[in-house]
Structure 1
Amino acid sequence: MRPAVNFAYAGGLLATGLADVTDDPAALDSRGWWAVVVTYEGEVTCARFDDVRPARHPGGVWRAPGEWASSLDEARYVAGVERIRDAIADGIVYQANLCRVLSAPLADGADIAGLGARLARGNPAPYAMTLRVPGLEVACASPELYLRRDGDVVESRPIKGTGRTAADLLPKDEAENIMIVDLVRNDLGRVAETGSVRVPGLCELEEHPGLVHLVSTVRARVTRGGWPGLLAATFPPGSVTGAPKSSALALLDELEPVPRGPYCGAVGWVDADSRRGALAVGIRSFWAVDGVLRFGTGAGITWGSDPRGEWRETELKAARLLEVASGERAQDLDERGTARR
């Protein structure tokens, strides 16, 4: 199935008939079904569609991009990890998530719907979304829930701790997860009913294609602010910034040479009529702008981090997604989650 020129696909729903695009998150409390992308830097795109129906992911032509380049090479990334460890020693931060952005020329005729369909087959994810609206194309295969809202109840499921298997996880992964849970609890507490913030799941093991993660659940009853207030209190997501968040953001701004864009922002949907929605943390995400395809990857840094080990974690997180985007067929992916070479 070929998609409309403008479309969104999320949660088994295909949205067409673009009716409105705005940068005002207050629209998410109005009416209709909205696709939402918020860049890490805070640029908001809310796109309302009139026709939303269950469907299979639309198809499209996809061609492998050109050679990938990284905003940080291994030496600069390792130096950045050491800088964060120095900041931890100085008491400036407890943890920070250092990221790099990969970029490659977009092939002529490549269709973001085709990439989204490839990701759906080769790297299925619970919070995947594909979107094309004027000026923005995103194919996201995120496993991480930033915010799920059902009426007044809001839930976040931060991920901290990644390995190929459970045996790869380290003590620092659990410590890092707990730090971020505390941060998310504090963020939600700013707009939640007093005493309603709960942690029903802590450091639970969750399996995804080629990876395992430690995932926690934080839940609260929100009493004020609507979507604008909720975003203002919690954005950017704590799992991709650090703790304390304000200090981590300032440090990362010094270390990361290019904007993250939709990567580490928010990607998802909101049904304003039913007061429901689900926004993913924009990890495992590709976005295309001005003929360039981009993809981000990163790792959480603590005092116990091994700098080269953290670089290898960024490679592990990127490997499967880049293989899918580079044209590997889903049936060629082996049981370890990597492509046969």
Structure 2
Amino acid sequence: MHDSFAHVGGLLATRLLDVTTDLSALDGEGWWAVVVDYEGKVTCARFADVRPAPLPAPRRPWRGPHPSQWRSSLERAAYEEGVRRIRGHIERGEVYQANLCRVLAAPLPPDQDPAALALRLAEGNPAPYAAVVSLPERAVISASPELYLSRDGDVIESRPIKGTGATAADLLEKDHAENVMIVDLVRNDLGRVAAVGSVTVPALCEVEQHPGLVHLVSTVRARLAPEAGWPELFAATFPPGSVTGAPKSSALRIIDELEPEPRGPYCGAVGWVDADRHRASLAVGIRTFWLSSGVIRFGTGAGITWGSDPRREWHETELKASRLIALASTP
């Protein structure tokens, strides 16, 4: 495996200085690669050498698992039953929507190079928030299309995705309703740490094209209150609303009941923070692989509402996963 490095936002970071689990370090100094698991585990890695550069050349070609080796934490019958149970919670008024996710896992041949998988994804599934963070214990390789949080001085922005189809014609009224619900949630989350009256929605339910599918995307923007730093920003907004549900507290409880395995970096945050310049870009950890202890994992999921059809939601998780699992597999 390469020495520790990160490649994100067109920047190559090398010469690892230190790793911390303390988000307040991001209010200090230096350039940090950041991975925060959905369950809240924080990894902030500070690098000494950061420069615009392409992905480092892999030491060897990628050799992934055979397509038949992938196993799902929820098989189809269990996933569809989970959708029905969430609809029951909605019927009882406990939640408006909740994301139901599953984790795919396969054994990984030894000594694989994360840069080789990142290169495959860059060529086969380019993404606006592509990232690779390779550290001694774990490597995270993401082709995320979704912005969790960006920062430029005191201006913070989130671009939640809700609504997925193979084409724009596949997007339903349910998708638009879902997106608007999550925009309200994100507005409320950002409002907890924003200057009073600064939260705006510059774009609502725009259709974005991505490889093999389309998404509905909205933009929520605010100015960060002077007393709020990175710990307060995460406390107010994490995990991202688009991958939990609304109300968030109820959705988190239901997710915990229905999902048998931790999500890890999937549905967490992956990106960079430049503490010196008060700039940052953190993606939602979707379309994301993580490698550790000889296993490769990948998460996929769907937002469940009262209008959800269990079979359709299962197929949405398949649609989101199929292209990337194919890229990561070796026949």
TMscore range, shorter length:
over 0.9
1:264 maps onto 2:270 in alignment: no
For the aligned residue pairs, the C-alpha RMSD in angstroms reads: 1.0
Picking from 35, 44, 47, the partner of 1:46 is 44
In structure 2, the residue matched to 1:116 is 118
Q: Secondary structure at the match of 2:265?
A: coil
CA distance in 1, matches of 2:77, 2:55: 40
1:32 maps onto 2:48 in alignment: no
CA distance in 1, matches of 2:160, 2:144: 12
In structure 1, the residue matched to 2:57 is 59
Query: Over residues 242-281 of structure 1, what are the superposed CA-to-partner deviations in whole Å (9 max), with x where a residue is unaligned?
Result: 0000000000100000000000000000000100000000
1:99 maps onto 2:101 in alignment: yes
The residue correspondences of 1:78-157 to structure 2 (distance < 5 A) are 78-157=80-159
CA distance in 1, matches of 2:294, 2:9: 28
Q: Contact 2:2 / 2:113 at 8 angstroms: preserved in 1?
A: no
Deviation at 1:4, TM superposition (A): 4.7
The residue correspondences of 1:148-187 to structure 2 (distance < 5 A) are 148-187=150-189
1:211 maps onto 2:209 in alignment: no
CA distance in 2, matches of 1:102, 1:4: 25
Identity %: 71
Q: Contact 1:180 / 1:239 at 8 angstroms: preserved in 2?
A: yes
Q: Contact 1:16 / 1:51 at 8 angstroms: preserved in 2?
A: yes
| TM-score scaled by length of structure 2 | 0.97
In structure 2, the residue matched to 1:339 is none
Deviation at 1:112, TM superposition (A): 1.0
Deviation at 1:188, TM superposition (A): 0.2
CA distance in 2, matches of 1:57, 1:33: 18
CA distance in 1, matches of 2:13, 2:95: 42
Residue ranges of structure 1 left out of the alignment (5+ in a row): 329-341
Q: Contact 1:184 / 1:234 at 8 angstroms: preserved in 2?
A: yes
Q: Which amino acid in 2 is paired with 1:10? A: V
Moved over 6 A (4+): none
CA distance in 2, matches of 1:156, 1:286: 22
Q: Which amino acid in 2 is paired with 1:14? A: L
CA distance in 2, matches of 1:127, 1:307: 30
Residue ranges of structure 2 left out of the alignment (5+ in a row): none
CA distance in 1, matches of 2:258, 2:96: 16
In structure 2, the residue matched to 1:293 is 296
Q: Contact 1:63 / 1:109 at 8 angstroms: preserved in 2?
A: no
| TM-score scaled by length of structure 1 | 0.94
In structure 1, the residue matched to 2:6 is 8
Q: Secondary structure at the match of 1:20?
A: strand
CA distance in 2, matches of 1:307, 1:92: 19
Q: Secondary structure at the match of 2:291?
A: strand
Q: Contact 1:93 / 1:247 at 8 angstroms: preserved in 2?
A: yes
Query: Over residues 65-88 of structure 1, what are the superposed CA-to-partner deviations in whole Å (9 max), with x where a residue is unaligned?
Result: 241000000000000000000000
CA distance in 2, matches of 1:12, 1:64: 25
In structure 1, the residue matched to 2:287 is 284
Picking from 229, 233, 241, the partner of 2:232 is 229
Q: Secondary structure at the match of 2:162?
A: strand
User: Which deviates more from structure 2 when the two are superposed, residues 82-91 or residues 61-70?
Assistant: 61-70
Q: Secondary structure at the match of 1:311?
A: helix
CA distance in 1, matches of 2:122, 2:231: 30
Deviation at 1:54, TM superposition (A): 1.1
CA distance in 2, matches of 1:70, 1:120: 25
CA distance in 2, matches of 1:59, 1:123: 18
